[in-house]
Amino acid sequence: MTARVLDGRATAATIKAELAERVAALSARGRTPGLGTVLVGEDPGSRAYVSGKHRDCAEVGIASIRVDLPATASQADVEAAVARLNADPACTGYIVQLPLPAAVDTNAVLELIDPGKDADGLHPTNLGRLVLRVKEPVTSPLPCTPRAVLELLARHGIDLAGKDVCVVGRGTTVGRSIGLLLTRKDVNATVTLTHTGTADLAQHVRAADVVVAAAGQPGIITADMVRPGAVVLDVGVSRVVDPATGKATLRGDVDPAVADVAAWLSPNPGGVGPMTRAMLLANVVDTAERLAG
Ligand SMILES: Nc1nc(=O)c2c([nH]1)NC[C@@H]1CN(c3ccc(C(=O)N[C@@H](CCC(=O)O)C(=O)O)cc3)C=[N+]21
């Protein structure tokens, strides 16, 4: 068997075209959305992601505001950047690129983001509303990568109702929150959350109809662990530097041989990554529309 491709690039392009129309309508009313980014330090992966987000904005007509701080930035410097974006009327939503340098208290920074401008859906208020299933008076932005996974499956006609989903990894941006989305009544999946303390990872993965690999461990999901016909989403991404050439390549959590076993596989790159960026734009446009009334 060779798995069908969950094509994140093509799907993200479709979504961006839809968003461009909504942005044009907002701009015609003088309400152009603006996405801000705060990037601290020189990590090449983070720089590449942030640059990609600004390219996406230009493509769909969203204004963008880029704040780059040196790796030596203090807690106060990062907090000041957040305060400026909170106060800037041109910025309707923004993100603080993670991870922050170890010297910066990440949770303290996330708490200071105006929950109404939290394009990542990572503010405690918004994560709390996700737990509480608050829909009124505001629907909180959903975390981008979990939303990306659901949207990628939905747009390929894959229904999750009654399915067993194994999530691998308990990180902030994916593993910890995706189960809240997957177990909503309108999705109705059953979720197992596995992590580095799981006794027998292979056993849980093998039992799953759908595997969401978000561990950040290159190749951790191998073909022998996957049930034939399963749907596999390769979410984790690592930069692996070849010691011989010094060249960096992106490696996903899923071993390429899984394509011989799975029914559907999201490639990495080209799968959930571009969808995450599209969902960030969607969060910004949703918020701008709500503000515009
Ligand atoms: N506050 C915050 N929000 C995030 O959403 C966030 C974050 N911090 N920190 C890091 C992770 C990682 N992440 C990716 C986004 C897009 C691609 C992406 O578009 N990747 C392309 C390849 C890009 C390339 O070639 O460099 C692809 O998969 O095809 C990947 C990874 C968002 N994250």
Residue ranges per domain, the chain?
Answer: 32-132, 144-273
User: Measured in Å, how far apart are the chain's first and last C-alpha atoms?
Assistant: 50
Cβ–ligand 1 distance for 277 under 6 Å, the answer: yes
CA of 30 to the centre of ligand 1 (A): 30
Average pLDDT on 242-255 reads 93
Q: Is 217 a catalytic residue?
A: no
For the residues of 99-142, what is the DSSP string, one character each? SPPTTS-HHHHHHHS-GGGBTTS-SHHHHHHHHHT--SS-PPPP
The average confidence (pLDDT) of the chain is: 95
Q: Which residue in 97, 163, 234, 286 is the catalytic one?
A: 97
Q: Which two tokens stand for residue 228?
A: 């034939």
Let me know if the fold of 32-132 is the same as that of 144-273.
yes
Quote ipTM for the complex: 0.93
Percent of the chain with pLDDT over 70: 98
Predicted local distance difference test score (pLDDT) of residue 68: 98
DSSP alpha helix (H) spans, the chain: 8-28, 44-60, 75-87, 106-112, 124-132, 144-154, 175-182, 201-206, 272-292
Cβ–ligand 1 distance for 171 under 6 Å, the answer: no
Judged on CB neighbours under 10 Å (0-12, 13-18, 19+), 1 is: exposed
Q: What is the CATH number of domain 144-273?
A: 3.40.50.720
Average pLDDT on 12-36 reads 98
Cβ–ligand 1 distance for 52 under 6 Å, the answer: yes
Ligand 1 atom index nearest CA of 274: 19
Q: Which two tokens stand for residue 283?
A: 């969060």
Q: Which residue in 16, 53, 117, 163 is the catalytic one?
A: 53
For atom 14 of ligand 1, which residue has the closest CA?
273
271 is annotated as contributing to ligand binding: no
Q: Is 120 a catalytic residue?
A: yes
Q: What is the CATH number of domain 32-132?
A: 3.40.50.10860
Distance CA 120, CA 280 (A): 7
Q: Could you tell me the pLDDT band of residue 136, with boundaries at 50, 70 and 90?
A: low
What is the crossing angle of helices 124-132 and 175-182, to 10°?
Answer: 30
pLDDT top residue among 206 and 292? 206
Which residue out of 268, 276, 277 has the highest number of ligand 1 atoms within 8 Å of its CB and is therefore the one to mutate? 276
Cβ–ligand 1 distance for 218 under 6 Å, the answer: no
Q: Which residue in 120, 234, 253, 286 is the catalytic one?
A: 120
Judged on CB neighbours under 10 Å (0-12, 13-18, 19+), 166 is: buried
171 is annotated as contributing to ligand binding: yes
Predicted local distance difference test score (pLDDT) of residue 45: 87
pTM: 0.95
Predicted local distance difference test score (pLDDT) of residue 75: 98
Q: Is 117 a catalytic residue?
A: no
